[in-house]
Structure 1
Amino acid sequence: MDDFSATKTLIQLLRMTQQFDGFLVAGGRQLPVDAMKRSQLLLVYSGKAKRSWSVESLDDMRKSIDNIDNAIVAMLAERFKVTNRVGYFKANNNLPVKDPEREAIQHSRIKELSNQYGLDPELASSILGQVIDEVVLKHQEIARSR
């Protein structure tokens, strides 16, 4: 993902989690971010995001966490809708429930993304492992029902 695309993705996440009014800079381009309290965010994207947060209260921080949690749950729900379709496809085409090669690729990709976003790669891989375990259980259930 190039800097400009990564920044656009970051802007979308920021818009879901808090209201902003300012701008981000990516690859020499200035990108608007709506409705920000001026003291809340300074983000200049130059290879890696550098964030400076000044949150006014514990309640404000908790509201941000709640909004991020909402976004995570919504994204997981969408992911499981897609993986359920994959499960039906596999069952209808007599494909194995587990795909170790695909799982290895996903773990590697998640670790790379984690490094880009400053997240512990082992933590991200562990979370992905839990998601994959749930997907496999659902795929086994789908296969048994066919």
Structure 2
Amino acid sequence: MTAVTHNHRLRYAPTVEHDHTPSTDPVADDGHPRTVPSLADYLPAGDPEPDVILDRFLAWCTDAGFELYPAQEEALLEVMAGRHVILNTPTGSGKSLVALGLHFRALAWGERSFYTSPIKALASEKFFSLCDLFGPERVGMLT
């Protein structure tokens, strides 16, 4: 198991002096809503190698306007290689994007993945978000 622990607030988080802040916010830097392409369109066909899956997911991240933090990149490399990862970073540092990469990998390999949440409102929010990204035919909910 690989543990990826970074404190983005101290080491990676942009400060006020930076010109650009990597964002996972649904609002683009110009203030307009960000149009995020469907992740389903990036799923590779057949039985893809981990590198192909990673390349496709990173292409989606680029097309969606996401800039990855080093901890996200490191965790995604481990996840795509099939390793277990514990990602310990502060709130708002992009752990959900890494989880999305794991869901993407699972779908590419014809596997199932689960997203758990202690709060029903968050579970509902993630359910609809995953439906938007992967298509409702690929997402289910258990309560």
Q: Given the two structures, how large is their TM-score scaled by the length of structure 2? A: 0.26
More strand by percentage: 1
Q: Which has the higher contact order (CA 8 A, sep 6+)?
A: 2
More helix by percentage: 1
Computing the radius of gyration from Cα coordinates, the structure with the larger value is 1
